[in-house]
């Protein structure tokens, strides 16, 4: 699945999308806005690289972050859900929130190995979180993460 496919699905539904990114550092939002006409559905993105930004801006539970660290399925879920509200407009929250969190390297983080990634999609029809174990260098892990979260979003929205 491509970013174009995902945005076409969103346009068909009349839905908007927002991104919460950690290890991808803006690559996901960039991949979406590279598609001509993206402004019809893309609200924007929050690069929550710092763990405290995940709490303060996206509403990720502080106790969860303290107990498990930022590389966690529940953190990804809360990031995806939180960005929907963080990028709300007068029309309401974004319909779909995407999130990426993980370890791109070169060193492990929060007890997680390099290549451990969680991606999440939150929408009115449900939330999906997927754990990935990726290999390659830092750049490869980040690019593959973007492709994986876009594919997960398209699968989630197309299945319902």
Whether the per-residue pLDDT at 44 is higher than 70: the answer is yes
pTM > 0.75: yes
Mean pLDDT of 6-25: 97
DSSP for 16-32 reads -EEEEESTTTTHHHHHH
Q: What is the distance between the alpha carbons of residues 110 and 40, in angstroms, rounded to a whole number?
A: 38
Q: Is 99 helix (H, G, I), strand (E, B) or coil?
A: strand
Q: What is the distance between the alpha carbons of residues 150 and 7, in angstroms, rounded to a whole number?
A: 10
pLDDT in tens, 82-122: 999 999 999 999 999 999 999 999 999 989 999 999 999 99
Query: b or e along 83-118 (b: 16 or more beta carbons within 10 Å of the residue's beta carbon)?
Result: bbebbeeeeebbbbbbbbbbbbbeeebbebebbbbb
DSSP 113: -
DSSP for 38-80 reads GGGTEEEEEE--SHHHHHHTT---HHHHHHH-SSSHHHHHHHH
> What pLDDT, on the 0 to 100 scale, is given for residue 1?
76
Residue 99: which of 157, 159, 52, 148 has the closest Cα?
Answer: 148
């Amino acid at each position: 699945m491509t970013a174009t496919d995902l945005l076409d699905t969103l346009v068909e539904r009349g839905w908007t999308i927002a991104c919460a990114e950690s290890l991808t550092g803006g690559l996901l939002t960039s991949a979406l806005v590279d598609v001509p006409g993206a402004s019809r559905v893309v609200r924007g993105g929050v690069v929550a690289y710092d763990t405290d930004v995940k709490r303060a801006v996206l509403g990720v539970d502080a106790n969860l972050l303290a107990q498990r660290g930022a590389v966690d399925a529940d953190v990804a879920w809360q990031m995806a859900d939180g960005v929907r509200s963080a990028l709300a407009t007068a029309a309401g929250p974004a319909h779909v929130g995407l999130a990426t969190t993980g370890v791109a390297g070169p060193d492990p983080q929060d007890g997680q190995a390099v290549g451990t990634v969680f991606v999440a999609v939150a929408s009115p029809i449900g939330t999906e979180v997927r754990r990935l174990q990726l290999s390659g260098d830092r750049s490869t892990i980040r690019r593959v993460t973007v492709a994986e979260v876009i594919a997960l979003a398209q699968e989630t929205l197309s299945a319902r």
